[in-house]
Structure 1
Amino acid sequence: MQWNRRNIMLIILSVLLLISLIYLNQPGTRWVETFSAADSEPFGGKAVHVLLEEQAGGEVTSSFKTLYELTSSPDSLTGNLLIIASYMGLTPEDWTALKTYVEAGHTVLIASRSIGDTARKELGLEWNNLIGLSPDSLIRGKFNEPEVEVSFNRKGYPVKNFRLPGSAVLQYLEADSSAWHKVWARNEEGKIVFMEYPMGKGQLFISPNPQLLTNVYCLDTAVNGFSAGLLSVFPRGEDIVHIEYYQLGRGKSQSRMRFILSEAPLKWAWFLTLFTLFIFVFFEARRRQRIIPLTKPVRNTSLEFTQTLGQLYYTARHDHQKLIAKRINYFYQHVARRYHIFLKSVDEDQVAQLAQLSGKDPEKLNRLIRVVRQADENQGLDDAFLKELEELLYWFYQGRTSSK
Structure 2
Amino acid sequence: MKGLRAYLIIGGALLIVYLIAEFNRPKPIDWTVSLSSKDKIPYGTYILQDRLNDIFPGDTIVPYRQPVYNVIADDSIKQSSYVIICHDIELSKPDYNQLEKYLKQGNDVFIAAEDFGTLFEKNLSITTDAENYFKFTRDYGMPVSFVSPYLDPKKTYTAGKGMGDIYFSKFDTTKAVVLGKDIKHKANFIKYAFGKGSLYLLANPKFFSNYSLLKPQGAAYAAAALSFIKSTKKITWDQYYTQGSEENDSPMRVFLSHPELEWAYYIAIFSLLIFVLYEIKRRQRIIPVIEPLGNSTLEFVNVVGQLYYEKRNNDNIAKKQVLYLLTYLRDEYHLKTNKLDKEFTETLTAKLGLDPDFANDFVEFLHYINVQDHINDKELIHLNKLIEQFYIQSR
- Alignment TM-score, normalising by the size of structure 2: 0.62
For 1:396, the equivalent position in structure 2 comes to none
One-letter identity of the residue aligned with 1:128? D
For 1:341, the equivalent position in structure 2 comes to none
CA contact (8 A) 2:60 2:235 kept: yes
Query: 2: distance between equivalents of 1:59 and 1:268?
Result: 41
One-letter identity of the residue aligned with 2:196? K
Query: 2: distance between equivalents of 1:13 and 1:224?
Result: 48
Aligned partner of 2:164 among 140, 164, 169: 169
How far does the alpha carbon of each residue in 1:104-160 deviate from its partner, in whole angstroms, 9 at most, with x for none?
A: 121111111221222223223231210147xxx9xxx9x953653322233434435
Q: Is residue 19 from structure 1 mapped to residue 4 from structure 2 by the alignment?
A: no
Query: 2: distance between equivalents of 1:281 and 1:230?
Result: 59
Query: 2: distance between equivalents of 1:224 and 1:2?
Result: 64
For 1:256, the equivalent position in structure 2 comes to 251
Query: 2: distance between equivalents of 1:11 and 1:166?
Result: 44
Q: Is residue 197 from structure 1 mapped to residue 192 from structure 2 by the alignment?
A: yes
One-letter identity of the residue aligned with 1:100? K
**1:187 Cα offset (Å):** 1.6
SS of alignment partner, residue 68 of structure 1 = helix
SS of alignment partner, residue 183 of structure 1 = strand
Aligned partner of 1:159 among 153, 156, 167: 153
Question: Residues 251 and 131 from structure 1, CA distance in 2 versus in 1: closer, same or farther, beyond 3 angstroms?
Answer: farther
- Give 1:71-110 correspondences, 5 Å limit: 71-73=72-74, 76-110=77-111
CA contact (8 A) 1:70 1:77 kept: no
Query: 2: distance between equivalents of 1:230 and 1:117?
Result: 24
Query: 1: distance between equivalents of 2:105 and 2:3?
Result: 73
Which structure is larger by alpha-carbon Rg, 1 or 2?
Answer: 1
For 1:379, the equivalent position in structure 2 comes to none
CA contact (8 A) 1:37 1:62 kept: no
**1:99 Cα offset (Å):** 1.0
Number of aligned residue pairs: give it.
282
For 1:314, the equivalent position in structure 2 comes to none
For 2:122, the equivalent position in structure 1 comes to 121
SS of alignment partner, residue 87 of structure 1 = coil
**1:41 Cα offset (Å):** 0.8
Question: Residues 215 and 96 from structure 1, CA distance in 2 versus in 1: closer, same or farther, beyond 3 angstroms?
Answer: same
Query: 2: distance between equivalents of 1:157 and 1:199?
Result: 24
The structure with the greater share of residues assigned to helix is 2
One-letter identity of the residue aligned with 1:66? P
SS of alignment partner, residue 42 of structure 1 = coil
CA contact (8 A) 2:127 2:171 kept: no
Query: 2: distance between equivalents of 1:256 and 1:74?
Result: 31
Q: Where does structure 1 differ by over 6 angstroms across 4 or more consecutive aligned residues? A: none
How far does the alpha carbon of each residue in 1:191-234 deviate from its partner, in whole angstroms, 9 at most, with x for none?
A: 11111112111111001111111111011123221111111123
Question: Residues 154 and 252 from structure 1, CA distance in 2 versus in 1: closer, same or farther, beyond 3 angstroms?
Answer: farther
CA contact (8 A) 2:81 2:232 kept: no
Moved more, 278-287 or 79-88: 278-287
Unaligned runs of 5+ in 1: 289-404
**1:162 Cα offset (Å):** 1.5
For 1:209, the equivalent position in structure 2 comes to 204
One-letter identity of the residue aligned with 1:170? D
Query: 2: distance between equivalents of 1:68 and 1:237?
Result: 21
Question: Residues 86 and 50 from structure 1, CA distance in 2 versus in 1: closer, same or farther, beyond 3 angstroms?
Answer: same
Query: 2: distance between equivalents of 1:37 and 1:47?
Result: 8
**1:173 Cα offset (Å):** 1.2
Moved more, 112-121 or 70-79: 70-79
For 1:43, the equivalent position in structure 2 comes to 43
CA contact (8 A) 1:64 1:252 kept: no
CA contact (8 A) 1:193 1:209 kept: yes
For 1:28, the equivalent position in structure 2 comes to 28
One-letter identity of the residue aligned with 1:42? P
Question: Residues 3 and 175 from structure 1, CA distance in 2 versus in 1: closer, same or farther, beyond 3 angstroms?
Answer: closer
Query: 1: distance between equivalents of 2:241 and 2:86?
Result: 6
- Alignment TM-score, normalising by the size of structure 1: 0.60
CA contact (8 A) 1:84 1:112 kept: yes
Query: 2: distance between equivalents of 1:53 and 1:45?
Result: 14
CA contact (8 A) 1:89 1:116 kept: yes
**1:284 Cα offset (Å):** 3.9
SS of alignment partner, residue 233 of structure 2 = coil
Q: Is residue 150 from structure 1 mapped to residue 141 from structure 2 by the alignment?
A: no
CA contact (8 A) 1:107 1:202 kept: yes
Question: Residues 158 and 173 from structure 1, CA distance in 2 versus in 1: closer, same or farther, beyond 3 angstroms?
Answer: same
